[in-house]
Amino acid sequence: MIGWRSVRHLLPDVREEVLVWVDGHRGPSWRNNHALVAYRDALGTWWEERHGEEPLVGVIYWRPLPDPPRLPVNTPGEQLVCVKG
C-alpha cells in the first residue's frame, strides 16, 4: 500500500477519489485535522466526495484508497463469528 504523499510533490489523477489529510489549524489552541475521501478537478480544486458544494481548503497530503474489506463467503446454515483481536 502506498503511503501518504505531499500535495507539494505529487498529485493524484484528475477526478481520482483518494483519501486526503486536511490541515484544519484554527489557531494556537485548536486543531481540527481530519481525513476524508476527496478528488480534485482539472483546475486543481479539491472537492469532498460526499458534499461537493464548497471546495476543500487545507489539503496537505493524499493517498490511494485502501482495497475494500474482503467479506467472508458463508455457506447456507453457516454462522459467522466475530472475534475481537
- For 46-85, the pLDDT digits (tens) are 999 877 688 888 899 999 999 888 877 666 666 666 666 5
Q: What whole-number distance in Å separates Cα of residue 48 and Cα of residue 59?
A: 11
pTM (predicted TM-score): 0.71
Q: What is the pLDDT of residues 39-49, one digit of tens each?
A: 999 999 999 98
Q: What whole-number distance in Å separates Cα of residue 16 and Cα of residue 38?
A: 8
Cβ count within 10 A of residue 46: 19
Q: Which residues contact 62 (CB under 8 A, 6 or more apart)?
A: 4, 5, 7, 11, 12, 18, 19, 20, 21, 38
